A and B are shown apart, each in its own frame.
Chain A
């Protein structure tokens, strides 16, 4: 394998792994902040217990997010030096602002929150977790501003083979940011909602002496998850419409739409033959793709073959088709898990109001397993986003193959890739073990502590 392939594997593995921890941080920081605020305003100790119990799981998760995040920052320079040279003028700016505005805030305040239960007034202490939540979500905003430039370059000029920043405001108000960031934010809320729902359901299923604690948590998880999943679907729909305009190759690949159609039909299940560029089996809903794109049952959606011709005319010879099967199935699995979560949250709401003994056991079991659904949906969503940009690393401006560091030896990258895989694998075992131990085997009584 060459340095390009190895670097792509390394970036894919470390990024997907990093994003196992990010969405829960985004959503759970807000939820714990709400719990603690509720404690401050009502004086009800139950809410303090909730903030501490879920806060401890938050901390275990947060540590993993931090250490895997530094790897992401360093890799741009280590493996993708040509990308860094080409993009530094623009990409470094949101990255530096992310650190200055968000990382300092969340990391510093989380230290204060963890150790400050008896050192600060109740209100100040609750304020620190709100600042953590704001910091975390601001960091998502700024890294997505950076990523959005790669999806939809704006506010730049090309000079001596590099992109130079010409309009900071345009980079900030990139239309792609304002569909992508809300989508990630609400995905985080969904993740946190289902995390709390699933862990609470486990305790209710196994029997616990803290019935009231987990009944209330179950309700909070269900409500939070429902709000998140409704919003993530609505915003995802708007984002899809946006991407059809700005990255037509991504959306055509996501639909395995080889020929331009008007009205365009939506494929439910297809067997895709990428060599012959057709789908031997394709179950379709007529006109529904046009509806998704234009909110009406007709309207042209461009197919892969036409786009390939168009792009060759514009950018010169080359293959401009993203991996169709990967995009097609990532998209369907993301949407599928999203809809499944919507269904579960809708069923959970009426149960959450009743006594836990009245909730059917099959539903509690399903709720426990639902903890995996947001993680799967998040991962497939990013796979569509990043695979769908192929062959570009910066859409229309720089190809992935031209971005890799030219002076690395394959053996070096193979070594780092294997080491990352081993260390990340072992850490995942330790992380899951601790989450099980502190989230499932133990109730809230052990959580009233602080320090290391």
Chain B
């Protein structure tokens, strides 16, 4: 069980990395058509995440691969069960991914406008649907005794899971606005700050509903092994969001970004701690849930992967941090953007 727990934690860490980093990328994509009025402004916004977004997206690919390697039964049930949701996420990620490379390759303003909206659509769809997916993990889904999901796409949609989805969209947009306040210059930075301030209150409203409903309104979520940790993380997420908002009001965008990042970190911990040791809760019968023991890979595989992860993850962190140092300067509309 030790290695199963280690991998549960590692998968959590990978999802934290994914939501924290892709969170602001999605947020920037969602804000792009609204914050950028002119072409140079939109370029500046895209260039703010230009060097990073692809490396950030790898956190998702790694989280998926790690889930496959450590809990193959979860990977199989989750991905086949949430088929249409994941398919729509894939479409979103495809149009968003190519929009970065394609948008400035032609002078035509309708071409650029089209790809900017594709970036928006892809980011929005991915953020919304990841939220819906997480909402379903919290609520539980109909899984039978053979680990098969029964419910289709509509089974994933409920008021609660939609609130989870909207919370993700708002939180990522707010996080992205904080990131842009840090990375942009002059009037653009002011606009990003103003957007963050406007978004914040909506994030608070939805996040509070989402957290309270998760902890008190769902039948199975906090029935795991460490519910206390989940409650603690929820409280810390709420406090972080409050501090972040106050910092944003003061115009301290660096602090605001730091605390919105922590909000995402603690919210992710809340979700995974509430689930542990289950990963997918069955609403048909709690005994049919997929847990770290009945869904995991063999001890040998987990041991092998632990060695690999212990060596490689710190190296990845080091060179990703290095890239943020290389591109630490603020970007203005006068920066070099000859593309």
Shortest Cβ distance from A409 into chain B, in angstroms?
7
- Across-interface contacts of B101 in A (CB, < 8 A): 59-60, 62-63, 452
Residue contact A100 to B55, C-beta cutoff 8 Å: no
Distance A200 CA – B87 CA, assembled complex (angstroms): 39
* Residue A84 is within 8 A (CB to CB) of chain B in the complex: yes
The interface-forming segment of B184-192, B215-223, B320-328 is: B320-328
A63 and B97 form a contact (CB under 8 A): yes
* Best-surrounded residue of A79, A115, A437 (most CB of chain B within 10 A): A115
- The residues of B that contact A93 with a CB separation of less than 8 Å are 69, 301, 304-305
> Is A44 at the interface (CB under 8 A from chain B)?
no
Binding site for B on A (CB under 8 A): 59-60, 62-64, 66-71, 73-74, 76-79, 81-82, 84-85, 87-93, 95-101, 103-105, 107-112, 114-116, 118-120, 164-166, 168, 405-409, 412, 415-416, 419, 423, 427, 430, 434, 437-438, 448-452
Given contacts A77-B64, A95-B65, A103-B62, 15 further A-B contacts (CB under 8 A): A70-B61, A74-B64, A76-B75, A77-B78, A81-B79, A85-B76, A88-B76, A96-B62, A107-B57, A111-B53, A164-B300, A168-B304, A427-B98, A437-B106, A449-B339
Is the beta-carbon distance between B326 and A112 smaller than 8 angstroms? Answer: yes
Subset of 19 A-B contacts with CB under 8 Å: A59-B101, A63-B97, A67-B94, A76-B68, A81-B77, A88-B71, A89-B297, A92-B69, A92-B75, A103-B61, A104-B316, A114-B51, A116-B326, A116-B327, A164-B301, A165-B297, A168-B304, A407-B81, A423-B91
- Chain B 47-106 interface residues, beta-carbon cutoff 8 Å to A: 47, 50-55, 57-58, 60-62, 64-73, 75-81, 83-84, 86-87, 90-91, 93-95, 97-98, 100-106
Looking at chain B's contact residues, the main secondary structure is helix
B304 touching A165, Cβ below 8 Å: yes
Given the known inter-chain contacts A92-B69, A108-B55, please indicate yes or no for A73 contacting B64, CB distance below 8 A: yes
A120 vs B325: C-alpha distance when bound (angstroms):
11
* Shortest Cβ-Cβ A-B pairs, 4 listed: A88-B72, A77-B79, A92-B69, A449-B338
Q: Determine if A434 and B102 form an interchain contact, defined as CB atoms under 8 angstroms apart.
A: yes
CA distance A68 to B102 in the complex (A): 15
B337 in contact (CB, < 8 A): yes
Task: Indicate if the CB atoms of A77 and B51 lie closer than 8 Å.
Answer: no
Q: How far is the CA of A79 from the CA of B79 in the complex (A)?
A: 8
Pick out which of these stretches binds chain A: B172-180, B228-236, B237-245, B307-315. B307-315
Whose C-beta in chain B lies nearest to the C-beta of A168?
B304
Using known A-B contacts A73-B64, A77-B75, determine if residue A67 contacts B69 with beta carbons closer than 8 Å: no
Query: What residue of chain A has the Cβ atom nearest to residue B64's Cβ?
Result: A73
Q: Does B46 contact A (CB under 8 A)?
A: yes
- Decide yes or no whether B298 CB sits under 8 A from chain A: yes
Instruction: Decide if B50 touches A111 in the complex (CB within 8 Å).
Output: yes
The answer to whether residues A66 and B97 also contact, given A166-B300, A434-B105 and a CB cut-off of 8 A, is yes
| Contact bitstring B146-159, A, C-beta under 8 A = 1, else 0 | 01111011000000
Q: Is the CB of A111 within 8 A of B90?
A: no
Is there a chain A Cβ closer than 8 Å to B278's Cβ?
no
Contacting residues, chain B, for A437 (C-beta < 8 A):
105-106
Q: How far is the CA of A303 from the CA of B295 in the complex (A)?
A: 43
Contact A85 B73 (CB under 8 A): yes
Chain B CB count within 10 A is highest, among A84, A88, A105, for A88
Question: Within the complex, which residue of A59, A64, A69, A407 is in contact with B150, where a contact is CB–CB below 8 Å?
Answer: A407
B84, B93, B326: the one within 8 Å of A67 (CB)? B93
Q: Which of A70, A90, A409 has the most chain B CB atoms inside 10 A of its CB?
A: A70
B150 CB → nearest A CB, Å? 7
Rounded to whole Å, the gap between the CB of A197 and the closest CB of chain B is 24
Q: Does B337 lie within 8 Å of A452, measured CB to CB?
A: yes
- Is A452 in contact with B50, judged by CB distance below 8 angstroms? yes
**CB-CB contacts below 8 Å: B273-305 with A:** 297-298, 300-301, 304-305
A147 → B minimal CB distance (Å) = 15
- Determine the chain B residues whose CB is within 8 A of the CB of A118 once the complex forms: 336
A95, B98: Cα distance in complex, Å? 23
Residues of chain A lying within 8 A (CB to CB) of residue B54: 66, 107-108, 110-111
B68 contacts across to A, CB distance below 8 A? 73, 76-77, 84, 88, 91-92, 95-96
Question: Is B298 a contact partner of A89 (Cβ separation < 8 A)?
Answer: yes
Q: With a 10 A CB-CB cut-off, give which of A104, A164, A407, A452 has the most chain B CB atoms.
A: A452
User: Given the complex of chains A and B, what is the CA–CA distance between A3 and B83 in angstroms?
Assistant: 13
CA distance A424 to B57 in the complex (A): 20
Known contacts A66-B54, A108-B320, A452-B339: does B304 contact A99 (CB below 8 Å)?
no
Residues of B within 8 A of A74 (CB): 64, 79, 86, 90
Q: Of B64, B102, B149, B316, which contacts A407 at CB under 8 A?
A: B149
- Within the complex, the shortest CB–CB distance from A3 to chain B, in Å, comes to 10
- Known contacts A93-B304, A118-B336, A165-B300; A82/B76 CB under 8 A: yes
Contacts of B335 in A (CB 8 A): 451
Determine if A99 and B65 form an interchain contact, defined as CB atoms under 8 angstroms apart.
Answer: yes
Whole-angstrom distance between the Cβ of B327 and the nearest chain A Cβ: 6
Cα of A76 to Cα of B51 in the assembled complex, Å: 29
Q: Name the one of B43, B152, B323 contacting A451, with C-beta atoms under 8 angstroms.
A: B43
CB of A96 within 8 A of CB of B305, answer yes
Contacts of A116 in B (CB 8 A): 51, 326-327
**B157-212, CB < 8 A from A:** none
In the complex, A60→B103 CA distance in Å? 11
Return B257 CB to nearest CB of chain A, in Å: 20
What residues on B are CB-neighbors of A103 within 8 Å? 58, 61-62
CA distance A85 to B61 in the complex (A): 19
| Least Cβ–Cβ distance between A76 and chain B, in angstroms | 7
**A74 to B92, alpha carbons, bound, how many Å?**
14
Chain B residues with CB under 8 A of A416: 83-84, 87
Q: How near does chain A come to B294, taking the closest CB pair, in angstroms? A: 12
